[in-house]
Amino acid sequence: MSESRPVPTGREIKLDKKKIIVSKTDMKGVILYGNDYFVEVSGYSEVELIGQPHNIIRHPDMPKAIFYLLWQTISQGKNITAVVKNLAKNGDHYWVVTDFESSRDSMGNITQYIAYRRPVPPQVLEVIEPLYAKILEVEKVHGMRASVEYLNSFLEEKRTNYNAYIAELAAPKGLTARLFAQMKKMFR
Ligand SMILES: Cc1cc2nc3c(=O)[nH]c(=O)nc-3n(C[C@H](O)[C@H](O)[C@H](O)COP(=O)(O)O)c2cc1C
């Protein structure tokens, strides 16, 4: 983007646990659709969002390594759940657990990507925030290859991968899980 980015305020937006934030993109990550809550939380108008690359809401605290992993996974047609910190138009931020999925045409080709977001439980943030800060530090000094390696060795030590790690850490439970699954269906 050529325009200047919002300056982060450090203020967190309190998300409604009963709502999900949904957006759809083309194969390149250009926003095609956002539900009302996506528009509301972002602080942009729908017109400002549609047609923009999804990095319009990227927060500078997010390591590139996470997006590298995201694209590597979804471009192969696999789903991934990731914890993401996003930046609103006024510089405030919000943390979300995001399920990234793909839509396919009748031939099985991927046509769009969809992201379903819910608030990050505080106990998940306690683990993820320092982990991302560390990854970002490595990235700033040594670049993305090193930060991806750092993340991989962190996960290997735990004998897991990113998706399984996040799924275990942040899986919705009980009523929340059912509500989230139902809400996701409405946007398919
Ligand atoms: C369906 C979908 C939803 C996305 N949602 C977000 C998001 O909420 N926040 C974000 O920073 N990036 C999101 N991305 C990733 C962006 O496309 C982009 O890769 C990321 O912001 C990093 O920007 P950069 O590649 O310019 O560094 C999404 C991508 C897809 C395909």
> What does the alpha-carbon distance between residue 65 and residue 118 come to, in Å, rounded to a whole number?
21
- Residue where the block lists tokens 């991968």: 161
Between the CA of 58 and the centroid of ligand 1 the distance, in Å, is 7
Short-list 121, 130, 137, 129, CA closest to 170: 121
Q: HSE of 136 in the Cβ direction (CA atoms, 13 Å)?
A: 12
Inside any domain, residue 5: no
The preferred substitution site among 50, 54, 132 for testing ligand 1, maximizing ligand atoms within 8 Å of CB, is 54
For ligand 1, say whether the CB of 25 is within 6 Å of any of its atoms.
yes
Inside any domain, residue 128: yes
**Number of structural domains, the chain?**
1
- The length of the chain is 188
Pull the structure tokens for residue 169: 């850490």
CATH code, 76 = 3.30.450.20
Q: Domain containing 37: what range?
A: 21-185
Inside any domain, residue 54: yes
Residue-wise pLDDT for 127-166, tens only, equals: 999 999 999 999 999 999 999 999 999 999 999 999 999 9
Q: 38 vs 2, which has greater pLDDT? A: 38
Inside any domain, residue 14: no
Which atom of ligand 1 is closest in space to residue 117's alpha carbon? 8
Inside any domain, residue 126: yes
Question: Quick one: pLDDT at residue 176?
Answer: 87
Question: Quick one: pLDDT at residue 134?
Answer: 98
Which atom of ligand 1 is closest in space to residue 84's alpha carbon? 9
What integer best gives the mean pLDDT of the chain? 96
> What does the alpha-carbon distance between residue 56 and residue 58 come to, in Å, rounded to a whole number?
6
Inside any domain, residue 6: no
Q: Please compute the mean of the pLDDT values over residues 51-57 and round it to a whole number.
A: 98
